[in-house]
Amino acid sequence: MAGGLKEVRERIKSVISTQQITKAMKMVSAAKLRRAQNAIVQVRPYAERLNRMLSNILSNLDGDATTSFGKERPVQNVLLVVMTSNRGLCGGFNSYINKETVALINSKYAQQRANGKLTLLFVGKKGYDFFRRRFNDINYNTDFIGVYDQPTYENASELSKKLMDTFSSGQYDAIEIVYSKFRNAATQIPTAEQWLPVAKMEVADDASKKKSDYIFEPNKEVLLETLVPSILQLQFHKCLLDTIASEHGARMTAMGNATENAEELLKSLRINYNKARQEAITTELGEIVGGAAALEG
């Protein structure tokens, strides 16, 4: 019985130690989440408004002007940018993004995968760790995994420029970003978003006859070739900030749940310990009484 008590005591100490770690991780994630949330809240409205404006402009061009980033061509070579974290212990955050990527591959780009013309570029290593163990018929690019740890606009802009160059040169016919859209600390939405070519805004048939009257200064070609890359860079950075905020929100929630579960486990262990201790005391008392009775007899 003494051995059982010692085992329960050791387990209680282990759970308390784990609980202290999860509490600390929750506090760290909460602090990081505040900064990340402020960043995405400031950027998102601006980025989404610019993206809608860009789609609207491209939808209303008469055909005499266009941008290389809006040209649609037969989709043969595809690049998927997969944004995941570098670390775990954040619940199902990375798993949901990976599942969204797998679903996109199987449903939309199965033919490109079969032809060996599908490439995955990873920002954050958890996505690469998942896919390299499961898919050997996909091309991988791991040159920019480290961008996730330094998500400045400059780093995101440099990467997005390189991706735009690959699209303009015809290396890839379509580029999509798979990331996690941040809603709040408890809700993150895995999202696949077409980045290139720039999607045109869909309009109803009765509205398609009415084109917005835009005045371009300077001319359309110069303006589009200057404006479009800037908007695409901001959109790419927005996706990265969304994912980072989602990671910290998911980790804070996961560590909070782990702390609560540890507390419930501690309650159960302490009850079991007290029961075992009471049984040991009762057994010892029984042995003492029995021994005293034997001596008296």
Q: Quick check: is 16 in a domain? A: no
Confidence of residue 119 (pLDDT cuts 50, 70, 90): very high
The answer to whether position 219 is within a domain reads yes
Q: Is 61 a domain residue? A: yes
Share of the chain above pLDDT 70, in %: 91
Confidence (pLDDT) at 117? 96
Exactly one of 90, 121, 234, 244 is catalytic; which is it?
90
Q: Would you say residue 232 lies in a domain? A: yes
Whether 51 is in a domain gets the answer: yes
**Range of lowest pLDDT (7-16, 138-147, 196-205):** 196-205
pLDDT one-digit tens code per residue, 82-97: 999 999 999 999 999 9
Q: What are the φ and ψ backbone dihedral angles of 118, each rounded to 5 degrees?
A: -115, 130
Contact 81, 163 (CB under 8 A): yes
Tokens of 75: 């989709």
Q: Count how many domains the chain has.
A: 1
Higher-confidence position of 171 and 59: 171
Q: Find the length of the chain.
A: 297
Residue 210 confidence (pLDDT) above 70:
no
Q: Give residue 155's pLDDT.
A: 95
Q: What pLDDT is attached to residue 207?
A: 47
In the predicted structure, residue 295 carries a pLDDT above the cut 80:
no
Q: Mention every residue, 6+ apart, whose C-beta is less than 8 A from residue 139.
A: 116, 118, 119, 120
Give the other-Cβ count within 10 Å of 248's Cβ: 24
The arithmetic mean of pLDDT across residues 98-110, rounded, is 97
Render pLDDT for 125-145 as a digit per residue (tens, 0 to 9).
Answer: 999 999 999 999 999 999 999
239 is catalytic: no
Sheet (strand 78-83) strand order: 139-141, 118-123, 78-83, 174-184, 187-196
| Structural domain boundaries, residue 221 | 22-254
Whether residue 117 contacts residue 76, with contact meaning beta carbons closer than 8 Å, is answered with yes
User: Is 9 inside any structural domain?
Assistant: no
How confident is residue 6, by pLDDT bands cut at 50, 70 and 90? confident
**pLDDT > 70? residue 1:** no
Q: How confident is the model at residue 217 (pLDDT cuts 50, 70, 90)?
A: confident
Tens of pLDDT, residue by residue over 21-49, are 999 999 999 999 999 999 999 999 988 88
Residue 292 lies in a domain: no
Residue 6 covered by a domain = no
**Residue 209 pLDDT level (bands cut at 50, 70, 90):** very low
- Say which CATH number the domain at 157 has: 3.40.1380.10
